């Protein structure tokens, strides 16, 4: 069954290929697809066959970026923001999931832009 990375629009023919691309084990992506976890290395995945045509188009039209609310800086990925501010990705992801208020002394949110 095909899998799509929602943030990048990348489509994979199998769970194994997606895990190789992300450099993680297939069980991590499977856990996210089944709802046991929210993200895998800051990314979310969906089964292409279970996604409607309209939803697929919206997934490919919108791009999710990370916004530093305080400085108004926009980052293409969680990893990019973490590198700049020396924040552990788990803390930033927890902040983006509203578990914490701040990470690295800053407030963060996801921001969606049209490609």
Q: Is 36 inside a domain boundary? A: yes
pLDDT tops 80 at residue 25: yes
Give the domain range for residue 99: 62-114
**Domain co-membership, 69 together with 47:** no
**Domain co-membership, 67 together with 35:** no
CB-based burial, 76-95: b 16+ in 10 Å, e otherwise = ebbeebbeebebebebbbeb
pLDDT average, residue stretch 17-29:
89
Number of folded domains in the chain? 2
**Cα(43)–Cα(6) distance, integer angstroms:** 7
**Domain co-membership, 66 together with 35:** no
pLDDT band (50, 70, 90) for residue 22: confident
Sheet holding 108-114, edge to edge: 74-75, 62-68, 108-114
pLDDT tops 90 at residue 86: yes
Please give the pLDDT value at position 38. 82
Q: Is 9 inside a domain boundary? A: yes
pLDDT tops 80 at residue 74: yes
**Domain co-membership, 47 together with 67:** no
**Domain co-membership, 45 together with 66:** no
């Amino acid at each position: 069954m095909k899998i799509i990375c929602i943030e990048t629009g990348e489509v994979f023919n199998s769970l194994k290929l997606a895990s190789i691309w992300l450099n993680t084990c297939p069980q991590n992506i499977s856990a996210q697809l089944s709802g046991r976890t929210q993200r895998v290395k800051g990314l979310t995945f969906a089964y292409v066959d279970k996604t409607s045509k309209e939803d697929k188009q919206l997934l490919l039209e919108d791009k999710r970026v990370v916004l530093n609310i305080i400085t108004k800086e926009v980052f293409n990925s969680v990893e990019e923001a973490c590198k700049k501010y020396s924040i552990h990705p788990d803390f930033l992801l927890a902040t983006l999931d509203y578990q914490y208020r701040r990470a690295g002394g800053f407030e963060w949110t996801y921001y969606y832009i049209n490609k």
